[in-house]
């Protein structure tokens, strides 16, 4: 099912009656989510991503704008009639019911032509349980399950009525690191097997990038960029998006353009022909640095962090806006670094360097 | 620490002495603690003991100038007499009827209003709840006069026509129980409600299928407390139930006095009291856990 959002806006009235400070949680969101895709809504806390999800589910009413599922306008349809499945951050399993009863619960509420006979309900419950691999835990209560198992039960409960759209609110944030990796692959697999259009909310860029077909980066209620994970990483539209995606994060510097050259401090690091002279922010991805004796960009060397396959060289530069500069290079470079070396020179890989306007923070292409 | 420092490590001490000192302190403090507990228990239990032994004394023994602490001979006939003369069967029946009906109705009202206050959004919710809570500040006895006037205006004092209405209706709403259950409901995560909404559960079904089972311990506490309350209530029934047919156990006990020569036959009265106390005693024995929970929750902690 295709999901279309048109100028979707959510305004929360101010709590304090005297001040008229409204909070615009979601501002003029227009987007089409193609059928059968796994989409990640990504942004820092309070950027309106959960509000967007709740509006799609119908639990919150849009202040203005429209929501379409396929061709139907569902803006004013109540949650139970939208046919969505929703998985909450804390799973929201009914603690007094067994796993089986939890999964059966949505089916028992179906009315009209969706209503199922009892044996079919149970069959259906076992089918989704097998899909998320919890069919051997059906008689347990939620508090007898691990976090990962509870998560699967929550997904099974959301899937059992075969919703037209599956919504996941921070589905992995309550799991430990190892389980998170495993579960996100699981979500990907389940989504592929069922083909249900799935939207999930996360503040973890790695999570979003690793499994999504498409990600939406939001900030303060405004959509910053929409696209495939790799495209957004390689081609961010503004400084915020560039900073938000990538680990280690992008290195940002004060720089200026003068006579077709990009300067960081005193060093002319790149040719940028055809861009007018002005002060800019320069963002360089950690993998954009190549240590080289003839490198144009001089930094003070702090230390080298070994990570196995790669090493991370930590250095400083007075123009840097981050406390330290982190570059990721192949471990072979370490051998070339002398014990008492105090400076390091890099040459830069042009397509890993982004220039942003100082005022608008928008990307300047070169 | 350097030797020049003015700070010094604590002095060595005789650990044997310390241990002995600790032991003595512990014994002494335990002694006083238990002394205190025994004293309190004695003060509370003695009247019950007196009731029980008096109920099996003969009238003559009871009237001795120096009372006996243990009956010389047991006269169980008091119990049979109490049951017959005090019409205890009728009183029990009335009380159970009033107790059960008012508990059921009260539970329905409590659950529905607690749900509304805990989960639903409506205009004036907080103001309304604050007003309800404020009524808890007023001692219940103060309501007696206004309640009496109200039921009189309704004509409910005409017991032959309205039956037990006047004994049941004025006490159906308990702000305290609503508050207790509301707090309990509010501890249930809101996501459960939202999840149920997405799955198409109606408010009533959600209440029935999720909230009531989760709040069951509190509901049981409320049921027991309410039952005990109806059993023990005295002033109101005494005021409004002027026909013997509508007496509850408490007024029945107060009003019947078996007279031999126009003096109360206290052993028979005591036997009646013992009979009436027995069901509550059983309730306490079997449902102690829930009663404690309800009472401890009703403490200072909200």
Best residue in B123, B189, B198 for a mutation probing chain A (most A CBs within 10 Å):
B198
Cα separation, A328 vs A197, whole angstroms: 36
Residues in chain B predicted with pLDDT less than 70, given as ranges, are 1-5, 86, 255-263, 293-302
Average confidence score pLDDT of chain A: 88
pLDDT tens-digit readout, A314-330: 999 888 998 999 999 88
In terms of C-beta density within 10 A (0-12 exposed, 13-18 middle, 19 or more buried), how is residue A62 classed? buried
In terms of domains, do A229 and A310 share one? no
| Cis peptide bond N-terminal to A183, omega within 30 | no
pLDDT of res. A334: 75
Number of domains into which chain A is organized = 2
pLDDT bracket for residue A67 (50, 70, 90): very high
**Prediction ipTM score:** 0.78
Amino acid B129: pLDDT: 93
A107 and A164: one domain?
Answer: yes
Q: What is the CATH number of domain B86-256?
A: 1.10.3720.10
**Cα Dmax for chain A:** 78
Q: Which of A340, A295, A294, A298 is nearest to A316 (CA)?
A: A298
A80–B201 CB contact, under 8 Å:
yes
* Shared-domain flag, residues A228 and A261: no
Mean pLDDT (chain B, rounded): 83
pLDDT digits (tens, 9 = 90+) for B193-236: 999 988 888 888 999 999 999 888 889 888 888 888 888 888 88
Give the closest of B189, B199, B214 to A106, CB-based.
B199
* Residue A284 pLDDT > 50: yes
pTM, full prediction:
0.74
Question: How many CB pairs lie under 8 A apart between chains A and B?
Answer: 51
Q: Using CB atoms and an 8 Å cut-off, which of residues 30-59 of chain A contact chain B?
A: 57-59
Q: Say what percent of chain A tops pLDDT 70.
A: 98
- What tens digit of pLDDT does each residue of A344-355 get? 889 899 899 999
Whether A274 and A225 share a structural domain = no
Per-residue model confidence (pLDDT) at position B262: 61
Q: Are residues A175 and A293 in the same domain?
A: no
Q: What is the pLDDT of residue A41?
A: 92
Q: Are A204 and A305 in a shared domain? A: no
Last residue of a domain, one of A227, A244, A261: A244
Query: Taking a C-beta distance cutoff of 8 angstroms, is the pair B181, B219 a contact?
Result: yes
The reply to whether A31 and A143 lie within a common domain is yes
Same domain, yes or no: A215 and A282: no
* pLDDT attached to residue B301: 32
Q: Which residues of B touch A57 (CB under 8 A)?
A: 198
- Quote the pLDDT of residue B5: 67
Note down the domain range covering A292: 251-364
Nearest C-alpha in B relative to A160: B199
Query: What's the pLDDT at B256?
Result: 66
Question: In the listed set A244, A262, A282, which residue is the last one of a domain according to the structure?
Answer: A244
Give the count of beta carbons closer than 10 Å to the beta carbon of residue A85. 26
Band (A12; pLDDT cuts 50, 70, 90): confident
Q: What pLDDT does residue A224 have?
A: 92
Q: What pLDDT shows up at residue A355?
A: 92
A174 touches A139 (CB < 8 A): no
Residues A326, A216 share a domain? no
More confident residue, A138 or A180: A138
Same domain (yes/no): A206, A303: no
**Annotated domain spans of chain B:** 86-256
Q: For the residues A257-273, what does the mean pLDDT come to?
A: 86
Q: Please give, one letter per residue, the 3-state secondary structure of A159-179.
A: HCCCCCEEEEECCCCCCCHHH
pLDDT at residue A53 tops 80: yes
**Above 70 in pLDDT, residue A99?**
yes
Please count the other Cβ atoms lying within 10 Å of the Cβ belonging to residue B283.
16
Mean pLDDT of all residues in A276-299: 89
Boundary of a domain, candidates A225, A244, A263: A244
B198 touching A (Cβ < 8 Å)? yes
Query: Which of A 133-162 lie inside 8 A of B, CB atoms?
Result: 157, 161
The fraction of chain A above a pLDDT of 90, given in percent, is 35
Structure-block tokens of residue B156:
């409910």
Same domain? A269 vs A290:
yes
- Residues of B within 8 A of A88 (CB-CB) are 191, 194-195
User: How far is residue B31's CA from residue A327's CA, in Å, rounded to a whole number?
Assistant: 72
Give A79's contacts in chain B (Cβ within 8 Å).
Answer: 197-198, 200
CATH number at residue A76: 3.40.50.300
pLDDT at B4: 62
Do A86 and A33 lie in one domain? The reply is: yes
């Amino acid at each position: 099912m295709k999901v279309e959002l048109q100028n979707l806006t959510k305004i929360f009235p101010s709590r304090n009656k005297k001040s008229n400070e409204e909070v615009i949680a979601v501002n003029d969101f227009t987007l089409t989510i193609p059928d059968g895709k796994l989409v990640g809504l990504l942004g820092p806390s309070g950027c309106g991503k959960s509000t967007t999800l709740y509006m799609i589910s119908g639990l919150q009413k849009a202040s203005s704008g429209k929501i379409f599922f396929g061709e139907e306008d569902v803006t004013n349809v109540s949650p139970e009639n939208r046919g969505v499945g929703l998985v909450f951050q804390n799973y929201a399993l009914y603690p007094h019911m067994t796993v089986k009863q939890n999964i059966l619960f949505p089916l028992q509420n179906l009315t009209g032509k969706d209503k199922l006979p009892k044996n079919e309900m149970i069959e259906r419950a076992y089918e989704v349980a097998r899909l998320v691999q919890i069919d051997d835990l059906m008689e347990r209560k939620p508090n007898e399950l691990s976090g990962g198992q509870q998560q699967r039960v929550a997904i099974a409960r959301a899937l059992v009525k075969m919703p037209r759209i599956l919504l996941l609110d921070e589905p992995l944030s309550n799991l430990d690191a190892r389980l998170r990796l495993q579960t996100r692959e699981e979500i990907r697999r389940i989504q592929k097997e069922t083909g249900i259009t799935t939207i999930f909310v996360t503040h973890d860029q790695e999570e979003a990038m690793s499994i999504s077909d498409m990600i939406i980066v939001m900030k303060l209620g405004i959509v910053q960029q929409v696209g495939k994970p790799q495209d957004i990483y390689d081609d961010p539209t503004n400084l915020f998006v560039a900073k938000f995606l990538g680990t280690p994060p992008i290195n940002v510097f004060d720089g200026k353009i003068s006579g077709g050259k990009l300067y960081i401090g005193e060093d002319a690091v790149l040719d940028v022909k055809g861009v007018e002279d002005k002060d800019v922010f320069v963002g360089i991805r950690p993998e954009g640095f190549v240590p080289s004796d003839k490198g144009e960009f001089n930094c003070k060397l702090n230390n080298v962090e070994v990570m196995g396959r790669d090493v991370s060289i930590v250095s400083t530069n007075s123009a840097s806006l981050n406390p330290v500069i982190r570059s990721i290079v192949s471990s072979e470079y370490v051998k070339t670094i002398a014990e008492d070396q105090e400076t390091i020179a890099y040459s830069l890989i042009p397509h890993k360097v982004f220039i942003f306007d100082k005022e608008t923070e928008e990307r300047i292409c070169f | 620490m350097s030797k020049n420092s003015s700070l010094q490590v604590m002095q060595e001490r005789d650990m044997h002495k310390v241990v002995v000192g600790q032991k003595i302190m512990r014994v002494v403090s335990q002694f006083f603690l238990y002394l205190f507990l025994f004293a309190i228990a004695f003060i509370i239990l003695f009247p019950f003991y007196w009731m029980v032994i008096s109920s099996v004394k003969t009238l003559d023994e009871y009237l001795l100038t120096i009372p006996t602490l243990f009956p010389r001979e047991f006269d169980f006939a008091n119990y049979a007499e109490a049951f017959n003369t005090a019409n205890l069967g009728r009183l029990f029946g009335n009380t159970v009827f009033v107790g059960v009906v008012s508990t059921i109705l009260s539970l329905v009202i409590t659950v529905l209003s607690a749900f509304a206050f805990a989960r639903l959004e409506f205009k004036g919710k907080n103001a309304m709840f604050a007003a309800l809570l404020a009524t808890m500040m007023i001692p219940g006895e103060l309501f007696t006069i206004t309640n009496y006037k109200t039921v009189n205006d309704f004509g409910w004092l005409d017991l032959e026509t309205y039956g037990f209405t006047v004994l049941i209706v004025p006490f159906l709403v308990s702000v305290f129980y609503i508050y207790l259950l509301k707090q309990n409901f509010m501890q249930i995560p809101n996501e459960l409600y939202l999840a149920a909404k997405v799955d198409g559960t109606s408010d009533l079904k959600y209440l029935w299928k999720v909230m009531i089972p989760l709040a069951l311990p509190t509901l049981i506490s409320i049921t027991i407390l309410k039952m005990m309350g109806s059993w023990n209530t005295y002033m109101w029934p005494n005021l409004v139930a002027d026909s013997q047919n509508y007496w509850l156990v408490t007024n029945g006990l107060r009003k019947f006095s078996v007279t031999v020569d126009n003096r109360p036959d206290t052993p028979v009265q005591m036997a009646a009291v013992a009979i009436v106390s027995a069901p509550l005693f059983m309730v306490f024995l079997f449902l102690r856990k829930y009663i404690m929970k309800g009472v401890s929750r009703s403490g200072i902690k909200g």
